[in-house]
Amino acid sequence: MTVPAFGLGTFRLKGQVVIDSVKTALDLGYRAIDTAQIYENEADVGLAIAESGVERDALFITSKIWVSHFAKDQLIPSLKDSLKKLRTDRLDLTLIHWPSPGNEVPVAEFMGALLEAKQLGLTRQIGVSNFTIALMKEAIAAVGAENIATHQIELHPYLQNRKVVEFAQSQGIHITSYMTLAYGEVLKDPVIIEIAKRHDATPAQVTLAWAMQLGYSVIPSSTKSANLQSNLKACELTLTDGDMAQIAALDRGHRLTNPQSVAPAWD
């Protein structure tokens, strides 16, 4: 079982907005949906899925455990609560959303609880998000790299996170890129605009295709049907080696997500 290359993100979307986004995406053919406990939209996502009529077995649903639920006696109950909200008996992928602030709950404790959730059939795969190389090493020591399906990190042309990517890939851990479009910043980049013109594509399609061509999964979000449909077409776009080299040169270590309460000391 692998993590789908393309899915729908739901960060910052709530209520009818997220319901409409998920239902529209499913109508268009999306089958992977990414949410999280802290997004406070799992119940809305669950409702949208139920109303879509798409069979559960056709879907790949990801959620993420929030830091306040990391303790061994809390993680599985919190996951069961997420399942109830999402109206399903299991997730396809469950991630640790951020490292435990100040190492309050040791990595071995929450990864052990997450592995137990997998063994209980509450989730088919497990993984991590926003980890440094040092934290990944701890997670691997706790549960084995073979049990870490993906590492979800901020990754876009302006923050290519190469050290973390190289370490994860050396351990056989897949990369999922979030914020691939950098809140739209990279869509104004002249290099990406020029590549898009050459391919008769949009800058968003070029950026998403770049990430997928590097082997990463992407989970862009949108509230507009036209953008959801357009983004999906990135799966059909193939960039040249020259295009890929031009985008590789855009890296400038420009990090957009760095919440003081949970962010680690980045690599």
- Confidence class of residue 1 from pLDDT cuts 50, 70 and 90? low
* Distance (Å, whole) CA 229 – CA 28: 7
Task: Please give the domain boundaries of the chain with CATH numbers for all domains.
Answer: 8-249 (3.20.20.100)
Q: Which of these is catalytic: 30, 39, 178, 216?
A: 39
pTM of the predicted structure, to 2 decimals: 0.98
Mean pLDDT of 184-198: 98
Mean pLDDT of 221-228: 97
Mean pLDDT of 161-166: 98
Task: Concatenate the DSSP letters of all residues of the chain into one string.
Answer: ----SB-EE-TT--HHHHHHHHHHHHHHT--EEE--GGGT-HHHHHHHHHHHT--GGG-EEEEEE-GGG-SHHHHHHHHHHHHHHHT-S-EEEEEE-SPPGGGSS-HHHHHHHHHHHHHTTSEEEEEEES--HHHHHHHHHHH-GGG--EEEEE-BTTB--HHHHHHHHHTT-EEEEESTTGGGGGGG-HHHHHHHHHHT--HHHHHHHHHHHTT-EE----S-HHHHHHHHGGGG----HHHHHHHHTT---------TTT-----
Mean pLDDT of 192-219: 98
With a cut of 90, say whether residue 242 has pLDDT above it: yes
Q: State the burial class of residue 266 (Cβ atoms within 10 Å of its Cβ: 0-12, 13-18, 19+).
A: middle
**Cα 40 to the center of its chain, rounded Å:** 16
Task: Indicate if 158 belongs to the active site.
Answer: no
pLDDT of residue 235: 98
Read off the pLDDT of residues 50-89 as tens digits, 9 standing for 90 and up: 999 999 999 999 999 999 999 999 999 999 999 999 999 9
Place of tokens 């691939």: 180
Q: Is 151 annotated as a binding residue?
A: no
- Confidence class of residue 139 from pLDDT cuts 50, 70 and 90? very high
pLDDT of residue 247: 98
pLDDT of residue 223: 96
Mean pLDDT of 93-115: 98
Mean pLDDT of 161-177: 98
